Structure 1
Amino acid sequence: MGCTLPLPAMVVYEPNYEAGPKSVRHKICLKDKPAFGIAGLWRDWPDGTHSFTMLTVNAEHHSLMNRMHKPGSEKRGVVKLPSEEWDDWLTCRDPEKARTFLRLLPAEYMEAEPAPVPPRKGRDGSSKQVLG
């Protein structure tokens, strides 16, 4: 059996390369809302395994999300569901209605800021950058 689910989140992190060849992690959240859901699909399989995915859509023409990921790579963003849409997503069984959720929220509903990964201490006590 498969089902839709909203994966609760407060932020998502995406790589941004505007400052140079090395990415800077950016924190993206909704303005004036503490949380959102990432549209997901979950399924049990007859052999007892499970699968899960977070849905993404093309962000080439989105003024905020098209700034994320490597230059020349596909621009994409996770489907963010405001909390008032969670019940509708959870109970949706009509494929045509489900497609109406597959969009990016307008850029003016979101904000992004640099959130670099802090250096981690190596075994020798030195600082090492984990993600770049």
Structure 2
Amino acid sequence: MGEVRIKARLRNFVDVALAERGGGTVDRLPTSELDCLVDTGAVMILLPADEVGKLGLARGGRVIVTYADDRREELSTARGLEVTVLGRTMVTDCVIGPPLCEPLLGHLVLEELDLVVDCARRSLGPRPESPNLPLLKLK
């Protein structure tokens, strides 16, 4: 089984909302287009600290992360990250990793955007039942 990677567009949602509310253009806002590793074992998004700074995200709280080798570390989070993958957009928090670390796309994004990993094809795409919009359960 190989890696699945996908391009994600990242912006500061507070900036987007302020630009839209004030009649400004969102085209001029700081935006990152990152090649992310899709990690179904990760819960949240992990972004390098330099990208979080570039986007001007607000600091959140702290979390303890567990790595694949069972090490644990306390890391900061950032709030208000707008993530767009395959034309589907959501707003979420992210974990702040060291500068230049590999960005990870975790399970929360896959769930909310209703995307599935195809390991055989090493690709990410919408569930066949929801090709146009995310289909979310509200039970």
TM norm structure 2: 0.25
Structure label with greater radius of gyration: 1
TM norm structure 1: 0.25
Give the strand-richer structure, 1 or 2: 2
